[in-house]
Structure 1
């Protein structure tokens, strides 16, 4: 029988468990590499696994891991730094781990196998080859699958295969396994090629649970709003549907979130000149700069400062005093030798520290990261008959009334599928960093459940 903090059924897993799950009395063993705070361990223990040892070098992560799982210092092996690991002092059924993702992440420097953290895959290869577990599961960012990293992924798969494994990989999204978070991650699964039906593994199918943000985040309004449909030409005034739209942006529905950015546009994009008092003429100047700053005739960059002479050609009867007023209002700034640009010229910075505000009834929030997000959740929901009034209603009823809240570390835990009784780090920033780095618990649960059917 399981003991300790996870002795009782974890409440969140009521959302995640399939009816044909492996019986929890079935026992298997696993080793937790790059263990972090235990995102792999929670679901594997729920499926009946026993952890024989863990490897982690971050002291703060180890502290949280031990607080939640290690109740007796002699209970299992602290394997230490993976670079020092070779033959393990025991045999194990499964090896798992979230290999550091920064080398392939857009949030990192994208140096791939040239990054020392990318070279930790060499340690993974060595440990798998020496210890020959029945199977392994490794997780990484979706960036590893992108064209620029094609050779690196092929190299990883080749090395794991040559160690005697049937290796498969697939990108899985946390939303498809019951979490309102749009989080893509690649999972690499290997089964030792001397195991019966080693080719029979298939990645788990999406589950039917679709909780909204308000189901997991406390302190926000629960609503049952019916989304109204609009012809795409009503939502996109220039008749063009942006190629960058994500899976949660329907072409015939209003977005469930508002983006704060001066250098992009859209029916739910909030600009700085809409948040302070500006007249029609000032708005026209800003919109003109917005529409022209990315045109190649003004420069090769994805957004170029525009000189006053250029602006005079674009805006009839433009006076320098009008530009100076927008500079005084901190909407525009002057870049010496180049021209005028928006003060808020980075999507990642948002406006006044806000990148997005999601409505409580949104299907999913953006990917949680170790560096934190500038995303917020509104505490009330709104609906609107007409798209052109939707933004105004949001500013009036939500933004101006401060009816939105930042995500807490505990919210991060819930959005990653960690159980309510999991003890996160006391420091809010540290906890967010750890949870943003963690694997989504229910994704591993369903993936491991499918794997166990083959190897047990």
Structure 2
């Protein structure tokens, strides 16, 4: 029987380094573009890199960067300013790196791509690479850049970088595969100058065998491993058909390690507002009926349509308007003039009562950390259960109702991104979270850069 202990604190960056240290006697130089708070710099310096200058325009990020990297021994290191003003630099460069602003391609942004001013920063990247001809480069961006709608933009980027005399490759890497309990997909574009002997030899690093749980790095949560019971699809899914939308960390034969708060989706670990408010069996039936029919095209073209009372009367036997009004009074439903009734909690991103998801301590990974923040929480205790319905009720009674869950702190963000324990974060909690949400995952860069440097040094 496992015991409950507070998660031990780990220096994650040290943990993700090889058991046998690599030879760092061969020094190399690099320039840190879109440097943020230094997610690229930490692993590159550990691998023997010497930063010749950094470029960033966010004043708060620059403060953190300076506090951590610009000290007495390198106080004269140049701040390169805004990349839009950079041209030929007065020194030779081995490697250029940077996390190019991702909002133009992100599902959280407006998806304007190269039409977005931030998307046009790629043109500045092109200029700096072409004029300075580093031996290699690494650029990071969101996975959205690889989606079909952005195919032409990605090809445009790759074609331009190749035309400057580089062998260019790209791949999506997930932070989870490099030891972090965070489901974070990012595209990495790597180029090696084509006059170098090993320019065609680069391959992206393979996933590590290191796997951590949330309780390994987040403090104040229970460390308990319960054996997991297997279930046939017909138990976990109403019709036995496994939804195509299930993610990497949603096993087809196990209960999820997290609970989603949403009225517009369903599932064995989905918590609805009618689960959290005292409602009758009949009221639950009405809500479930609306949930199952709101996305049907016969009721409208939206991905979720208000349903008129006339429609609901055909779906629910002996429905009375008073029954609908009672759900409006409970603030579960609302009436949209001329359209019908819909759920008050109608956005997955908003969740319910400002909660989107609550992850159990033993979960393999939390969702992607973002600069805009998340409504995700971590339970401070774990639960064991055999059947899906009992599992949900136990979660509500033992965790949700008793407030046995906590928000992620900026320190948690730092650990989930693989930053070292002694990294000095911004004093303002919100700003610090924003900065870590924008950062690259340190262990990913360490392993990627290590694979690259063996070819160019």
The answer on whether the counterparts of 1:22 and 1:453 sit within 8 Å (CA) in structure 2 is no
Alpha-carbon separation, structure 1, partners of 2:327 and 2:77: 63
**Residues 100, 131 of structure 1: CA spacing in aligned structure 2 closer, same or farther, 3 A cutoff?**
same
The answer on whether the counterparts of 1:22 and 1:452 sit within 8 Å (CA) in structure 2 is no
Alpha-carbon separation, structure 2, partners of 1:119 and 1:299: 38
The answer on whether the counterparts of 1:15 and 1:209 sit within 8 Å (CA) in structure 2 is no
Structure 2 match to 1:281: 282
Structure 1 match to 2:6: none
Q: Give, in angstroms, the shift of residue 243 of structure 1.
A: 1.0
The answer on whether the counterparts of 1:54 and 1:79 sit within 8 Å (CA) in structure 2 is yes
Alpha-carbon separation, structure 2, partners of 1:422 and 1:328: 50
Alpha-carbon separation, structure 1, partners of 2:21 and 2:232: 43
Q: Give, in angstroms, the shift of residue 323 of structure 1.
A: 0.7
Q: Give, in angstroms, the shift of residue 26 of structure 1.
A: 2.6
Structure 2 match to 1:89: 90
Structure 2 match to 1:237: 238
Q: Give, in angstroms, the shift of residue 133 of structure 1.
A: 0.6
Is 1:33 matched up with 2:33? yes
Q: Map 1:11-410 to 2 at 5 A.
A: 11-19=11-19, 22-72=22-72, 74-410=75-411
Q: Give, in angstroms, the shift of residue 224 of structure 1.
A: 1.8
**Structure 1 runs of 4+ with >2 Å offset:** 18-22, 72-75
Q: Give, in angstroms, the shift of residue 277 of structure 1.
A: 0.6
Secondary structure of the equivalent of 1:67? helix
**Residues 181-207 of structure 1, C-alpha deviation per residue, up to 9 Å, x if partnerless?**
000000000001111111001100000
The answer on whether the counterparts of 2:313 and 2:319 sit within 8 Å (CA) in structure 1 is yes
Q: Give, in angstroms, the shift of residue 21 of structure 1.
A: 5.1
**Residues 350-389 of structure 1, C-alpha deviation per residue, up to 9 Å, x if partnerless?**
0010000000000000000000000000001111011121
**Residues 274-299 of structure 1, C-alpha deviation per residue, up to 9 Å, x if partnerless?**
00110111101100100111111100
Alpha-carbon separation, structure 2, partners of 1:52 and 1:280: 67
The answer on whether the counterparts of 2:13 and 2:442 sit within 8 Å (CA) in structure 1 is no
**Unaligned 5+ runs, structure 2:** 1-9
Secondary structure of the equivalent of 2:447? helix
Secondary structure of the equivalent of 1:140? strand
TM-score by length of 1: 0.97
TM-score by length of 2: 0.96
Q: Give, in angstroms, the shift of residue 18 of structure 1.
A: 2.5
Alpha-carbon separation, structure 2, partners of 1:224 and 1:185: 30
Secondary structure of the equivalent of 2:349? helix
Alpha-carbon separation, structure 2, partners of 1:404 and 1:343: 24
**Residues 55-100 of structure 1, C-alpha deviation per residue, up to 9 Å, x if partnerless?**
0001000011001111147431100000000011111110000000
Structure 2 match to 1:423: 424
Secondary structure of the equivalent of 1:172? strand
Alpha-carbon separation, structure 2, partners of 1:361 and 1:111: 38
**Unaligned 5+ runs, structure 1:** 1-9
**Residues 125-169 of structure 1, C-alpha deviation per residue, up to 9 Å, x if partnerless?**
110011011100000000000000000000000110110111000
Q: Give, in angstroms, the shift of residue 420 of structure 1.
A: 1.1
Alpha-carbon separation, structure 2, partners of 1:21 and 1:92: 25
Alpha-carbon separation, structure 2, partners of 1:20 and 1:338: 65
Structure 1 match to 2:456: 455
Secondary structure of the equivalent of 1:452? helix
Alpha-carbon separation, structure 1, partners of 2:355 and 2:330: 18
Alpha-carbon separation, structure 2, partners of 1:437 and 1:322: 47
Alpha-carbon separation, structure 1, partners of 2:220 and 2:67: 28
Secondary structure of the equivalent of 2:50? strand
The answer on whether the counterparts of 1:225 and 1:383 sit within 8 Å (CA) in structure 2 is yes
Secondary structure of the equivalent of 1:161? helix
Structure 2 match to 1:6: none
Alpha-carbon separation, structure 2, partners of 1:206 and 1:195: 27
Secondary structure of the equivalent of 2:104? helix
Alpha-carbon separation, structure 1, partners of 2:190 and 2:276: 49
Alpha-carbon separation, structure 2, partners of 1:141 and 1:121: 14
